[in-house]
Amino acid sequence: MRLAIIFILTVTLTCLGLINLYSIHQGYSNQFYRQVFTFSLGLLSLIILRYIKLKHLMWLAPFAYVAGLITLILIPLGMGKEAFGATRWLSLGGFQFQPSEFAKIFLILALASLLSKKSNPLIKFFFSVLTLGIYGLLVYWQPALGTSLVLGAVFISMVYLSDLPLKYLLIMSVIFLLVMPFGWFILKDYQKSRLLVFINPGIDPGGLGYNLKQALIAIGSGGLTGKGFMQGTQAKFGFLPVPWSDFAFASLMEEGGFILGLLIILSYIIILGLTLSLVSSSVTPQGVLLIAGVLGMWGFEALINIGMNMGIVPVVGIPLPFISYGGSAMIKNYLALGLLIKACSKKENRGLWFS
Amino acid sequence: MDIRTKQFFLVILLLASTVLFSGRLFYLQVIKGNEYANLSVSNYLRTIQVQAPRGNITSREGTILAHDILTYVVKVAPADIKDEEKIIELLISMLGVTREDILKAINDDSLPYYYPRVVAVDIPLDKVLELKIKEKEFPGLTVEISLVRKYEKAESFAHVIGYLHEIDREELFILSHRNYTSGDRIGKTGVEKYYEEYLRGIKGKRLYKVDALGKERILQSESFPEKGNDLVLTVSDELQQKVSDIIKDLPGTAIMMNPKNGEILALASNPTYDPNYFVKGLKPAIWNLWMKGKALVNRAINGQYPPGSAFKALVAITGLENKVFTDKTVVNCEGFITVGRRVFKCWTYPAGHGPVTMREAIAVSCNVYFYTLGAEIGINKLVEYADNLGFGNLTGIDLPSELPGLFPNPQWKREKVKEKWYAGDTSNLSIGQGYLLVTPLQMASFYSFIANGGYAVNPHVVKSVRNNQGEEIYEAYFPPVFKGISLKTINVIKEGLRKAVTRGGGLTPLKDLSIEVAAKTGTAQAFGKEKPHLWLIAYAPADNPEVVAVILSERSKFDFAYKLAPYMKSMLEAWIEYKNKGN
């Protein structure tokens, strides 16, 4: 029942994303048809996942992790495709995909497999950090700060809901906070300025603050009821940057207004809340961990994206789950839904305890 | 911690996010919704204002003195610029403008980013064609037809008409609610400033719909500009030119005014300037020259000088009106008089004028007579009459920044000089010296009052304002005001002033004119070794005056005021010639 509600809500959000694509391009949109196509691929991957047993998934996890690693390495080796100043895409047999999106799923699988093993908690924790670190750094170098942050959120969420002592997480956070100030120096210039703009949006109204300002104008000008379908001037005339992806929420707010905004926010909260409640209905540690991973991923992506659209979080390149345009992300999100279904299936969970 | 507690914390996190997000969304869309809605409209709608042609200014004869003409200007729109450096280099090499000026225009943040700003004016035709071709190559650069002010007979009329210039930040701050924007022209002095509201016209507006790149401009609506109203001056082209010419070698000012209605027929201030330079661009050398000579100062209304003997008429009026003296009272001038412990000399010292009555005293400008009269009248009565007859007050001429001069009184002296008022101060005042300061226009105004038989008029330079249909929407009318001085008193003064010309002294040249002239000289002692300011004030015809003329020679090359008589003669000759043409 809960899974059914989650499914209905994700499909609804996907449809909203499609409406947004149609609207911002005034109907002349390749993105719209591509998104419809990847949506069907997403549903297809849900069905395929039905036929793979969770046991086998866990067995596959290390191989998937290594496969993801290879695709991530291929990018800096010069096989990537550059866009918006970052190299995040890989071409494979005519299809382009974003390895970093699938890396999120592979990380969830790998950590679920790793954290459910019976061994010394400290060693387990060490290997999990390593598992995260390799992916995180490779993604960070693309550069895709947003995605590496999502990977971090997945890790934290899974460790939090695992049987590892919480003090590990605490100690790690403390170390992280201490190292943070030095981290400023490894941030790229554009990332520094994004942070500065977030702290004071007025510093550069023609440049970086521009994006945030236009997003706020788009949301604010939507008012209570919005400007109406295909009537959003901010997106239509190009003032709102990337209204199909990172700023899709702002674009929807411009046309749909406060009422729609409230519905979208509530939809995400319900999805996340239900996902969280699934934790107690899963009977195996692997299941719990998978749910925790998906929860961390969706939760972080949704909250950060909406937050940055409304100017309460710095601007980072994180798409809004289900709504933002992007094939890899779409498939990844339905795969994640598939993992939830796997994790809750009583039949599937049998015989996993001692693997 | 068991899984339930962990879940509980996450639920709290989710609820907090819900509250935070919906609150923020409510704030942005509902509370600040209208504000953001306006911002989004101003994002895609661009308003470009279209300059309105300014009204013409003509002389009373109808000669055009100031009008808008079309020229080519180069504009730069910052929002559309691709390569700023390339544009700057092109403009510097082709038009010789400076980098600072271009950058100042581009970085003017009081205009919207998309707004084209003028960077060079008055572009010669051959360069217009060259630049027009380059418009495509240099996005953001445009050559447009624009209006610029052109002043005819500029140097002669400069102080009456004033000049236009780009509105500055301070003015913009005060006037932004009256539809002024940065880059607008605004009158800075003269009637260009005083009648700004009549002259400026109504700007047109073009509303475009644009996308974020500033491309695909679609004209949404357009309102056409409306030309400003035309001014007709009271100043005569013919007289003004001649008067300017007459005082060319005489730093100071000359005014010619109709005492019956207050119309200024000529008002020249020397040195003068060419307001066209403010349009074309002012070179530092010229500017420095102007600053050195205070060329921008209109000496007729902004110059304040002691009136010297020309002031004696007021002392005479006060004496007669208060019956301190009659016109028959005789004062014996021995060449000096002792007031308190100080000796005050007549200008003939060591000789004296002997026994003089009022008419003679005015005619020969006997200081001793007026020392005596002034002392008898007392400072309080002098203050009262001076104030009534306009000393220390603005004349109210329709030119900006007129100065009121200064008429001292005991209270003023206590406050400003920190000294009490001595009898000697009254003596000095009685012959127009001491602390007393007047503007030449005040003197013109005062002598008009005498010439007009005791009726004061309001000096003015604008006769009427006409709208674009040629209808008069304003006509100057200032009825003469009776000042409470009896005609008998005035007539005594007038007879004395007439006698100053006829008695055969230095003013004799004025006797040669075809009409009877009355006149009064004045010598204002300047401090130290500086040369005195000299006055010569005349009106004609003596029995029914139709013109009052004032000459003030600032730090004069002459020693005596009567040496100005030939200048006055030329001025009055010019007036007679003008009059004989049927004006």
Judgement on whether residues B92 and B213 belong to the same structural domain of the protein: yes
pLDDT digits (tens, 9 = 90+) for B56-112: 999 999 999 999 999 898 988 887 777 788 888 888 888 888 888 888 888 877 777
Residue B92 lies in a domain: yes
Residue B55 and residue B199 in contact, taking contact as beta carbons nearer than 8 Å? yes
Residue B487 lies in a domain: yes
Residue B283 lies in a domain: no
B89-97: long-range contacts, CB 8 A cutoff, minimum separation 24: B90/B134, B90/B138, B90/B141, B91/B119, B91/B120, B94/B127, B94/B130, B94/B131, B95/B120, B95/B123, B95/B127
Q: Which of B183, B213, B233 is the last residue of a domain?
A: B233
Judgement on whether residues B196 and B246 belong to the same structural domain of the protein: no
pLDDT in the model for residue B221: 83
Chain B residues with CB-CB distance to A269 below 8 A:
14, 17-18
Measured between CB atoms, does B18 come within 8 Å of chain A? Answer: yes
Percent of chain B at pLDDT exceeding 70? 98
Angle at B260 between CA B242 and CA B360, to 5 degrees: 85
Q: Which residues form the domain of B209?
A: 54-233
Residue B365 and residue B521 in contact, taking contact as beta carbons nearer than 8 Å? yes
Give the C-alpha distances (Å, rounded to integers) separating A288 from A342, B99, B321. 11, 68, 114
Question: Mean of the pLDDT values across residues B515-520?
Answer: 94
Residue B290 lies in a domain: no
Judgement on whether residues B73 and B109 belong to the same structural domain of the protein: yes
pLDDT in the model for residue A85: 59
Residue B110 lies in a domain: yes
- The two tokens of residue B465 are 């304002």
pLDDT digits (tens, 9 = 90+) for A185-226: 777 777 777 777 666 655 554 555 778 888 999 999 999 999
Measured between CB atoms, does B23 come within 8 Å of chain A? Answer: no
Total domain count for chain B?
Answer: 2
Measured between CB atoms, does A92 come within 8 Å of chain B? Answer: no
Judgement on whether residues B84 and B219 belong to the same structural domain of the protein: yes
Angle at B100 between CA B97 and CA B101, to 5 degrees: 55
Chain B residues with CB-CB distance to A303 below 8 A:
17, 21
pLDDT in the model for residue A352: 55
CATH number at residue B500: 3.40.710.10
Q: Which residue from A206, A239, A261 is facing B25, i.e. has the nearest CB?
A: A261
Measured between CB atoms, does B283 come within 8 Å of chain A? Answer: no
Measured between CB atoms, does B477 come within 8 Å of chain A? Answer: no
Residue B26 lies in a domain: no
Whether A253 and B25 lie within 8 Å, measured CB to CB: yes
pLDDT in the model for residue A355: 40
Q: Which residues contact A178 (CB under 8 A, 6 or more apart)?
A: none
Q: Which of B233, B250, B282 is the last residue of a domain?
A: B233
The yes-or-no verdict on residue A354 having pLDDT over 50 is no
Residue B432 lies in a domain: yes
Distance from A297 to chain B by nearest Cα, in Å?
Answer: 14
Judgement on whether residues B246 and B191 belong to the same structural domain of the protein: no
Residue B77 and residue B117 in contact, taking contact as beta carbons nearer than 8 Å? yes
Judgement on whether residues B374 and B476 belong to the same structural domain of the protein: yes
Judgement on whether residues B349 and B227 belong to the same structural domain of the protein: no
Question: Which of A:97-116 have CB within 8 Å of B?
Answer: none
Chain A residues with CB-CB distance to B114 below 8 A:
none
Number of cross-chain residue pairs from A and B with Cβ atoms under 8 Å apart = 109
Distance from B23 to chain A by nearest Cα, in Å?
Answer: 10
Q: Mean pLDDT across chain A, nearest whole number? A: 87
Q: Distance (Å, rounded) from C-alpha B294 to C-alpha B524? A: 20
The angle that helices A248-278 and B3-26 make with each other, rounded to 10 degrees, is: 160
Judgement on whether residues B324 and B394 belong to the same structural domain of the protein: yes
The yes-or-no verdict on residue A269 having pLDDT over 90 is yes
Judgement on whether residues B241 and B376 belong to the same structural domain of the protein: yes
pLDDT in the model for residue B476: 93
CATH number at residue B79: 3.90.1310.10
The yes-or-no verdict on residue B510 having pLDDT over 70 is yes
Judgement on whether residues B486 and B562 belong to the same structural domain of the protein: yes
**Cross-strand partners of A24:** none
Judgement on whether residues B96 and B210 belong to the same structural domain of the protein: yes
Residue B185 lies in a domain: yes
Judgement on whether residues B423 and B315 belong to the same structural domain of the protein: yes
pLDDT digits (tens, 9 = 90+) for B246-279: 999 999 999 999 999 999 999 999 999 999 988 7
Residue B164 and residue B54 in contact, taking contact as beta carbons nearer than 8 Å? yes
pLDDT digits (tens, 9 = 90+) for B277-290: 887 777 788 889 89
State the DSSP code for B217.
-
Greater confidence, A142 or A105?
A: A105
Q: Which helix (H) or strand (E) holds B442?
A: helix B440-451
